[in-house]
Amino acid sequence: MSDSFNAYESDFQLALQEAKTKISQIESAADGEQRKQYLKSIEAATDEALEELDQMGIEVQKLPSNQRSSYNTKIRQYKTQVDEIKRKYKQLADSQDKHELFGNRYRDSVSSDGVADSQRKQLLNNHSSLERSSQRLQDSQRIALETEQIGGNILNDLRSQREQISGARNTLLQADSYIDKSVQTLKSMGRRLVANKFISYAIIAVLILLILLVLYSKFH
């Protein structure tokens, strides 16, 4: 595997570890602002991990098709780890949003107001809708990337098949050239054979003529 893949993999591991560390720290954080900072750090580390994962996928597409299987399996395992981090992040973010919306001070001031309860529910619904929309966008991006990878695999396979066909065609052309040379050689040998045959006939005719002349001179 190329050094680029190893570098992306190393950066991915660092980003993933950063997200896990912040998740463990946020559980013991009591201050609201500190929890927000941890959430931002988790989100940033997760985004970075996804970017490194995408780059790893691109590097794998550069490999021959018979070498990709083990690396694609590793990438799927990494995706599962990232999805688990994203799930925990969503739980923590939802918990933080509920804490901000239903904090003690806010609850004391509006707990008796039905309109305020309705507004809180609406805010939560809006937040959930935004979360679902964000998740759908991320899923669409992932599907687009996977589609691009599949397309890359198909193109590589087609390129390999084209090279095989080109090689077979070159072999056929070379064989055809050899056949042409063989035919020309056979034709040349045939012409020489015919010429040799005529020469042989001529020699025999001369010999017969000489014999006849000797016989004629002997008896006359």
Report CA Rg, the chain: 43
Looking at per-residue pLDDT, the higher value among 61 and 116 belongs to: 61
pLDDT at position 109: 43
* pLDDT classification of 203: cutoffs 50, 70, 90: very high
Angle 32-61/3-26 helices, nearest 10 degrees?
160
pLDDT at position 127: 66
Q: How far apart are CA 211 and CA 164, in angstroms?
A: 70
**pLDDT, tens digit, for every residue of 89-134?**
888 888 776 666 655 444 444 444 444 555 666 666 666 667 777 7
pLDDT at position 180: 85
pLDDT at position 14: 92
Parse the chain into domains and list their residue ranges: 1-101
For residue 51, count other CB atoms closer than 10 A to its CB. 14
Report whether pLDDT(11) > 50.
yes
Least Cα distance to 51 among 115, 138, 125 occurs for 138
Q: What is the mean pLDDT of residues 14-31?
A: 81
The dihedral through the CA atoms of 130, 135, 136, 142 has a sign that is positive
CB proximity list for 61: less than 8 A, separation 6 or greater: 68, 149, 152, 153, 156
**Which range has highest mean pLDDT (39-53, 57-71, 128-142, 162-176)?**
39-53
CB proximity list for 5: less than 8 A, separation 6 or greater: 56, 59, 60, 71
Report whether pLDDT(145) > 50.
yes
Q: What is the mean pLDDT of residues 158-170?
A: 84
CB proximity list for 55: less than 8 A, separation 6 or greater: 4, 8
What percent of the chain stands above pLDDT 70? 81
* Assigned superfamily of 1-101: t-snare proteins (1.20.58.400)
CB proximity list for 106: less than 8 A, separation 6 or greater: 100
Kindly report the pTM of this predicted structure: 0.45
Q: Write a three-state SS string for 89-141.
A: HHHHHHHHHHHHHCCHHHHHHHCCCHHHHHHHHHHHHHHHHHHHHHHHHHHHH
* pLDDT classification of 5: cutoffs 50, 70, 90: confident
* pLDDT classification of 57: cutoffs 50, 70, 90: confident
In which residue are the tokens 């042409």 written? Answer: 180
Query: Per the structure block, which two tokens stand in for 46?
Result: 């997760």
Q: Where are the alpha helices (DSSP H) in the chain?
A: 3-26, 32-61, 69-101, 104-110, 114-219
pLDDT at position 151: 77
In which residue are the tokens 């065609």 written? Answer: 169
